[in-house]
């Protein structure tokens, strides 16, 4: 989403750049906390500006809408998480140790932790709920946030297919849904506890199949 972000003001003094960076971070944090507290509908640019301690014109200069601010705040949160996990420049991919089950368990356990992270959970629920009833917001959410992360599964499953660890004929874009959807389902609907053990079971069931071998 670099196109909606203010280009680095190369001509300005370092002080100004640092100030911009600080404002940007304050705006992200304000947007995420606010949407988690009052929901998407009642979150406003004015409210975000007030909480971030910036003028609302600062926000309008950098982003066209509150949806854009929020989506970018989430992207930034994801990049921070990836950097914290040691991924190169915030880029993330699913590990390939040659053991597909172990690699999927690693990434799905990390997903469980992320979904239950208090910093992430309330705003993420609010944004998901808003997208469920607002098709335009939902489409942006899927295109910019969800689908790129699902593509990582496509890549890993395709590599597994080439290595002979996934049956030929399996469509990786469908197969990944048997892995990620059960976790999303428990998280969104709170049917039963979302745990590492559950993530492991989902991987084992999906790879091994429910039918006898």
| Interacting span for a copy of itself (CB under 8 A) from 49-57, 85-93, 107-115, 178-186 | 178-186
Binding span for a copy of itself by CB under 8 A among 25-33, 69-77, 108-116, 199-207: 199-207
Q: Which of 140, 153, 182, 194 binds a copy of itself (CB under 8 A)?
A: 182
Q: Which range, of 11-19, 55-63, 65-73, 188-196, touches a copy of itself by CB under 8 A? A: 188-196
The C-alpha angle with vertex 125 and arms to 122 and 129, in degrees rounded to 5, equals 140
159 forms part of the interface with a copy of itself (CB under 8 A) = no
The Cα–Cα gap between 51 and 45 comes to: 10
Binding site for a copy of itself (CB under 8 A): 39, 41, 100, 125-126, 128-133, 135, 138-139, 141-142, 146-147, 150, 157, 164-167, 170-171, 173-175, 177-178, 180-182, 184-186, 188-192, 198, 201-202, 205-213
């Amino acid at each position: 989403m670099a196109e909606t972000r203010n280009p680095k003001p190369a001509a300005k003094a370092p002080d100004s750049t640092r100030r911009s960076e600080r404002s940007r971070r304050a705006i992200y944090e304000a947007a995420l906390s606010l949407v988690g507290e009052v929901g998407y509908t009642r979150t406003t640019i004015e409210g975000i500006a007030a909480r971030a301690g910036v003028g609302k014109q600062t926000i309008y200069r950098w982003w066209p809408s509150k949806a854009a601010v929020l989506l970018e705040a989430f992207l930034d949160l994801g990049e921070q998480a990836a950097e914290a996990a040691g991924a190169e420049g915030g880029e993330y991919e699913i590990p390939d140790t040659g053991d597909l089950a172990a690699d999927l368990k690693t990434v799905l356990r990390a997903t469980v932790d992320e979904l239950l992270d208090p910093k992430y959970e309330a705003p993420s629920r609010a944004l998901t709920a808003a997208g469920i009833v607002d098709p335009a917001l939902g489409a942006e959410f899927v295109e910019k946030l969800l689908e790129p992360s699902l593509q990582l599964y496509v890549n890993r499953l395709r590599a597994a297919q080439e290595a002979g660890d996934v049956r030929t004929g399996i469509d990786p874009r469908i197969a990944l849904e048997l892995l990620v959807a059960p976790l999303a389902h428990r998280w969104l609907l709170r049917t039963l506890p979302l745990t590492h053990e559950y993530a492991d079971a989902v991987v084992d069931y999906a790879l091994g199949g429910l039918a006898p071998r």
